[in-house]
Structure 1
């Protein structure tokens, strides 16, 4: 089985329904029954309903130990699929909504990373994210936390949320702050908004990678620029199909990105919501796009090379390939 690495997964979005119910029960948290479609499925039918469902499930994460649990649980599942490294997006805004401090939030995740490493040998790191539709002031507040509260497992800063809200220019202060503090950055762009979202993000923000970026396929000049500049793309085919951006795996442009020389990676985004996993993404990519073991190994190599962790860890990970 090919070794794997993942750069784009939302930690709060990794908890499957059974774990969400478990946390709600032990925390005495009220759980809206409309959160679930069935015992093992979340209930949503479009992107906006997905965001709402995600928030309802994430609201059951109330303690530092909850964050340890969901981190360990996800890394354990990844390790069983021969994954050796995961960078997880964490959301201090979700933690703050339930009264959890930034440091408790990080300490819980770090404990889960340590537990998973000890048991499975998998490595994990954290990319702290702001939420775009919460606005620039909140993003700057999160950026200040990152810059002023360093943690050995926090390796970068990112932005998710509704692409249609605000302009990348509005978040330049936040991204510049963390960049000056020595962190690399990434931002969601070109998922539900078109290639202009990617262009605007590259122009306004000091990003090292593009989260999703799949809509670049609609702009040949942008595609050529991404390939020439070797800007890594955090592609998430299963997510794009589940949210209706593409009708099927066969319609997804992943192979076209490869063929044009773009630096591509495979990622699961919010796996239990989209019926996927990092192993499933590799499996489907091989099957649908005709990828060889060498192709898949190169995708893993791309991810490790594009990771925000230190060079020493990268070398150790690359040696495991």
Structure 2
């Protein structure tokens, strides 16, 4: 499929960090930058190199980004900003995720931050033809009890699910993390977990055993046939973020990127941006990049979208409507 076709394709994105995706135009306004050199410096600080030394270098870009989201108003505007990016490439449903702890401050509690993003989503959905879900990120090495409480309190009333992100190498899964996921599971809150982004197959297996229905990245699975075969017994979907995965070294090169091998092994995968600004990407660009390196047929592209709908943390009636929109696109292109 060419770029024009991929842009018209109704798409679904499940793995998009709010802070990592706010646009340069948004940042220019927040930091009041108008001079060309100042804007270029801003871009250099928030857009990661095409090839980072490691994930840590990639994550350094987030300081200015999270710093721009310290008020309820800025969080609402940030949601509108990302929604505007999404509708330009025909994304019909997306799940935004953010870590309330990273934006909370003396003037804004974590709960206020969550409610601000929920309101931003409501505004975006009233202005644009898009559905948006919200995932709250717990962070490895933190307490996280308040995040689970907020996810449970506002589940199906603004919040769609939970995530665990952060330094896999340093923290892995704590006993508290495991307890909190057990609580989320008992309360019916679905969750995804960042795992296997930095080479740990064990983290992927643990995430699946804890009850995650989706895995953020999961690239390390490609290193173990045993692990790959194991997760086939679970209803698990991988949230691949191809451009970011190459940037951070999660996969060393496109020739070794496991997109096709995962599909051949019968693992359900989706394509995502992860961080639109930090990775200088869009969902259309992710699809197009995959099409350059693999045999991305129209049928495969459609299946990626259908699998994303199946895995979305959203009610069955919304999934049915999303499928209807995809079916309309098929009719238009017959």
Partner residue, 1:11: 18
Distance 2:269 2:154 in 1: 32
Distance in structure 2 (CA, Å) of the matches to 1:70 and 1:42: 20
Relative to the length of structure 2, the TM-score reads 0.86
Match of 1:272 among 270, 273, 277: 277
Residue of structure 2 equivalent to 1:119: 127
Greater shift, 48-57 or 185-194, is seen at 48-57
1:146-161 matches, cutoff 5 A: 146-150=151-155, 152-161=157-166
- What is the alpha-carbon distance in structure 1 between the residues aligned to residue 198 and residue 48 of structure 2? 21
Gaps of 5+ in 1: none
- Is structure 2 residue 269 aligned with structure 1 residue 261? no
- Shift of residue 73, structure 1, vs aligned partner: 1.1
Deviations 1:249-294 (A, max 9, x none): 3431111111111000001101211121111111122232111111
Look up the match of 1:181.
187
Contact kept? 1:36, 1:42, Cα under 8 Å? no
The equivalences for 1:273-292 within 5 A come to 273-292=278-297
Match of 1:21 among 28, 33, 38: 28
Secondary structure of the residue aligned to 1:165 is helix
Query: 2:230 is matched with which residue?
Result: 225
Q: Does 1:211 align with 2:219?
A: no
Deviations 1:18-53 (A, max 9, x none): 322322339xxxx9x976427x84577542132232
Please say if residues 59 and 98 of structure 1, whose CA atoms lie closer than 8 Å, have aligned partners that are also in contact: no
Which residue of structure 2 lines up, in the alignment, with residue 73 of structure 1?
81
How far apart in 2 are the matches of 1:7 and 1:72?
A: 17
Asked if the contact 2:199/2:219 (under 8 Å) is kept, the reply is: no
The C-alpha deviation readout for 1:53-85, integer Å capped at 9, x for no partner, is: 213321121211211111111111111111111
Instruction: Show the 5 A alignment for 1:155-174.
Output: 155-170=160-175, 171-174=177-180
Looking at structure 2, the residues matched to 227 and 286 of structure 1 have their Cα atoms a distance apart, in angstroms, of: 25
The one of 296, 301, 304 equivalent to 1:296 is 301
Give me the whole-angstrom Cα distance separating, in 2, the residues matched to 1:96 and 1:125: 20
**What's the CA shift string for 1:193-245, capped at 9, x where partnerless?**
32122122223x22111111011010101112223423101111111111123
Q: Deviations over 1:123-151 (max 9, x none)?
A: 1010111111x33xx22221122223446
- Determine the structure 1 residue equivalent to 2:332: none
| Structure 2, unpaired ranges of 5+ | 1-7, 327-334
Q: Distance in 2 between matches of 1:253 and 1:99?
A: 44
Paired residues of 1:227 and 1:263 also in contact (CA < 8 A): no
How many residues of Structure 1 are paired with residues of Structure 2 in the alignment? 311
Looking at structure 2, the residues matched to 293 and 119 of structure 1 have their Cα atoms a distance apart, in angstroms, of: 30
Partner residue of 1:313? Answer: 318
RMSD: 2.3
Name which structure has the greater RCO, CA cutoff 8 Å, separation 6+.
2
Q: Cα offset for 1:246? A: 2.9
**Is 2:219–2:251's contact at 8 Å kept on the other side of the alignment?**
no
The 4+ residue runs of structure 1 with deviation greater than 6 A are: none
TM-score, normalised to structure 1, is 0.89
The equivalent of 1:200 in structure 2 is: 206
Q: Is the 8 A contact 1:240 1:246 kept in 2?
A: yes
Cα 1:258–1:201 change in 2 (3 A) is same
**Partner of 2:16: helix, strand, or coil?**
strand
